[in-house]
Amino acid sequence: MKRDYPNQNHTLFPGSSSSTPPLLPDLTGKSKMWDEFNEQDTGVDELLAVLGYKVKSSDMVDVAQKIEHLEGVLSNDDGLSQMASDSIHQNPSDLSSWLESMICELNPVVQVQLPGSGSIAGSLVGTSTSPGSAGIDDLQAIPGDAIYPPTKKQKSLSEDNGNKTYSPNPIVIIDSQENGIRLVHTLMACAEAVQQDDMKRAETLVKQAGYLAVSQAGAMRKVATYFAEALARRIYRLYPKSPQDAPAFRDLLQMHFYETCPYLKFAHFTANQAILEAFAGKKKVHVIDFSMKQGMQWPALMQALALRPGGPPTFRLTGIGPPSGDNTDHLQEVGWKLAQLADTIHVEFQYRGFLAESLSDLEPAMLELREDEVVAVNSVFEMHELLARPGAVEKVLSAVKEMKPEILTVVEQEANHNGPVFLERFTESLHYYSTLFDSLESSGGGGGGSVESGGVAAASNQDKIMSEVYLGKQICNVVACEGPDRVERHETLAQWKTRFDSAGFQPVHLGSNAYKQASMLLALFAGGDGYRVEENDGCLMLGWHTRSLITTSAWKLR
Amino acid sequence: MLHTHNNILERETKREKHNISINDHNDILIEVLQRLDGRSLAAAACVCKKWCSIVRNDALWEHLCFRQLSVPPSVGVRSVVLALGGYRRLYLMCVRPVVSRLKKRRSNGGHTEVVRRLWNRNEVELSLSLFCVEYYERLLLGDGGAVGGGESAAKSLRFLCKTVNV
């Protein structure tokens, strides 16, 4: 005789209407004490009273948390259902104490103090009895702050509690099941443990996170797996060696990322538009590219220059990149291909490649700048790496100033992954990459959804996977590395603005042409509804729904 | 021009009353085909060998690409497009998917302009840029070989609909 949990159980579980109802009905259905109806209802919650539960309205929060806690405990122990059907519990209509007795029975040794509205900080730490065993005992030892953070109580809050749920940047959770929330909490708790240098606790938590991640689907699973792996690396000190991969492999990953989602295309098109406008009317132009890679940005610019009114200028390109390590001069090869293209569309083209370990090794004198040419400097996702070594950014910016550019175009990730506190960096990057993976997921790997042959679908799947690996490496770097190895030191536009300002640059507004082109480009992508172009004080930001992810900005000398 | 055609027609109707064939008059055929949309052009190419060879003429596709533009494109465009693979390829790979995607978005957005609207300059420019990127990508991958040959788009355009080739 099973009671159906009504759909209007919103007072207990406000957000999780689509989740499976808690285990409660199953357990209580087997108990014979069920039929007791207690008619005394002084200040008792009405909906629950209909079911036969007597819960004071003031106790609702308490009860909700206990239920959640109980569920968490139960779902982790397989042999429990046996025990549940055999035991006799106290009066189940008195929900609060009944839950209490259930919990105590499961863990006779550990006395769980559940929080009212305050945090329990360290009260649970150190109450685990058997240090060696994983599982429930270790779960009990999870400090309250991570699992029940005082300000971040989410779905288990009852509405008559009156607390506002506080979520500054809502974590993207694909399915609203309890496991997803638990997974995020576990990751955060693990990061907190790492922050506090409690490696034993962190180790348990990271394993827990690994299990939970597997139970998820889609973007959540991938993000969680990458973060769990990165945390594990940090805990076990298996730092990825630096430099990690050959530049050729990194370029390959970035190519796949280029094809799957619009971020790089957006970056290229908007930067090109700014450069095009800066080059208007000039006869000799010179672009210095800090992020040469495969040179995917330049065909579009060359084509626009070829077709501009008045004809194309002489176009000189200097590409800067890291040495490839396998004796092939891939920079030069890229130059040849670009030269071929330039020849085809009748643009006078000159190319020079420079190998440099780091941008700060660059001296303007090497570039052989000429008097009569107009210079543009371009950097896509390169500047943040300079922040790993003190003084590098300032050196590069002063070198740029010496080049006397007409315009400096910079594209960077819009996030602060360079804070001094590890936990903050972790939280920020968790939000950021969750959003990014989310957008990858709905891009569908660039298939478009319409006419698609099997071959194309398979290829786009591979693209998607490689893009995820590309992002995964960034995640690993942000979380697991420190010091000069940690190169993914993303900063927000506001932070870059201050830097450029103090270095002697002033912003150049990107204009409506760039905005229009960017919007059109995004509309072409499947899942294009999710992408948003925003103008922010002359800079263009591309984001997914409400979260801005990358920013293009342009600068000139004051 | 028209006079000669009329004369020819008259003469022919006198000779063989029921044997007027459009296939004998290329320029009329071209005039007619110029007014078709892309899909119909592709269908026309399947009619017979002669029609197929006429439809494959790039000029027809150039006309198709730009005839709806309010302002005709600048002079240099043709040499660039031809160098990058031709108008038919431009239409198939870029212009058509771009325009149809954007049209779909617009009608989804609530505007009830199901009517044929002019492709604007921006859309064509975007198509040209994407076309150039695609050419470059084939350069990167193909390594000299069949640069103008392959009918399938390089990967950078896969995010657009996959087209059916004539």
pLDDT of residue B132: 92
Identity of the residue in A262, A304, A463 whose CB atom sits nearest the CB atom of B129: A304
pLDDT of residue A423: 93
User: Where does residue A135 fall: left (phi above 0), alpha (psi -120 to 50 degrees), or beta otherwise?
Assistant: left
B79 close to A (CB below 8 A): yes
**Of A129, A124, A131, A138, whose CA–CA distance to A204 is shortest?**
A138
B9 close to A (CB below 8 A): no
Could you count the other beta carbons within 10 Å of the beta carbon of residue A71?
A: 16
Residue of B nearest to A459 (CA): B155
Give SS3 for A505.
strand
B95 DSSP 8-state letter: I
CA–CA separation, A130 and A259 (whole Å): 52
For residues A500-526, one letter each, b for 16 or more C-beta atoms within 10 angstroms of the residue's C-beta and e for the rest, the string is beebebeebebbeebbebbbbbbbbbb
pLDDT of residue A76: 57
Q: Which residue has the higher pLDDT, B143 or A404?
A: A404
CA–CA separation, A416 and A420 (whole Å): 10
> In chain A, which residues have pLDDT < 70?
1-55, 57-58, 72-96, 98-99, 101-177, 242-244, 327, 444-459, 526-528
Identity of the residue in A346, A516, A520 whose CB atom sits nearest the CB atom of B79: A346
A59 DSSP 8-state letter: G
Beta bridge partners of A350: A316
Identity of the residue in B76, B128, B133 whose CB atom sits nearest the CB atom of A296: B133
Q: B37-57 pLDDT, tens per residue?
A: 888 888 888 888 888 888 888
pLDDT of residue B36: 85
CA angle, residues A91, A96, A99, in degrees to nearest 5: 75
**Of A146, A152, A153, A156, whose CA–CA distance to A204 is shortest?**
A146
Size of interface A-B (CB pairs under 8 A): 105
Identity of the residue in A259, A443, A517 whose CB atom sits nearest the CB atom of B156: A259
Residues of B in contact with A525 (CB under 8 A): 159
Asked if residue A463 lies in contact with residue A253, where contact means CB atoms within 8 angstroms, the answer is no
User: Between chains, do A446 and B159 touch, taking CB under 8 Å as contact?
Assistant: yes
Per-residue pLDDT band at B14 (split at 50, 70, 90): low
CA distance B114 to chain A (A): 18
Residue of B nearest to A524 (CA): B101
Identity of the residue in A456, A516, A526 whose CB atom sits nearest the CB atom of B162: A456
CA–CA separation, B33 and B64 (whole Å): 10
Question: How far, in whole angstroms, is CA A13 from its chain's centroid?
Answer: 27
Residue of B nearest to A296 (CA): B133
* Interface probe, candidates A297, A298, A308, A345, chain B, greatest B C-beta count within 10 A: A345
pLDDT of residue B112: 41
Beta bridge partners of A555: A408, A507
**Of B107, B89, B114, B82, whose CA–CA distance to B38 is shortest?**
B89
Per-residue pLDDT band at B101 (split at 50, 70, 90): confident
Asked if residue A476 lies in contact with residue A229, where contact means CB atoms within 8 angstroms, the answer is yes
Residues of B in contact with A458 (CB under 8 A): none
Asked if residue A419 lies in contact with residue A428, where contact means CB atoms within 8 angstroms, the answer is yes
Asked if residue B144 lies in contact with residue B152, where contact means CB atoms within 8 angstroms, the answer is no
Could you count the other beta carbons within 10 Å of the beta carbon of residue A315?
A: 23
B135 close to A (CB below 8 A): yes
pTM of this prediction exceeds 0.80: no
pLDDT of residue B163: 32
User: Between chains, do A346 and B98 touch, taking CB under 8 Å as contact?
Assistant: no
B12 close to A (CB below 8 A): no
pLDDT of residue A125: 33
A447 DSSP 8-state letter: T
pLDDT of residue A304: 92
Provide ipTM, 2 decimals: 0.73
Q: Which residue has the higher pLDDT, B41 or B157?
A: B41
User: Between chains, do B159 and A299 touch, taking CB under 8 Å as contact?
Assistant: no
**Of A209, A148, A144, A140, whose CA–CA distance to A180 is shortest?**
A209
User: Between chains, do A296 and B136 touch, taking CB under 8 Å as contact?
Assistant: yes
Asked if residue A396 lies in contact with residue A366, where contact means CB atoms within 8 angstroms, the answer is no
Token reading at B151: 């009918």
Residue of A nearest to B156 (CA): A259
Token reading at A228: 């769990």
pLDDT of residue A35: 36
Identity of the residue in B77, B105, B162 whose CB atom sits nearest the CB atom of A307: B77
User: Between chains, do B126 and A338 touch, taking CB under 8 Å as contact?
Assistant: no
Residue A244: C-alpha distances to residues A240, A249, A428, A486 (Å):
7, 10, 24, 11
Asked if residue A9 lies in contact with residue A21, where contact means CB atoms within 8 angstroms, the answer is yes
Asked if residue A439 lies in contact with residue A529, where contact means CB atoms within 8 angstroms, the answer is no
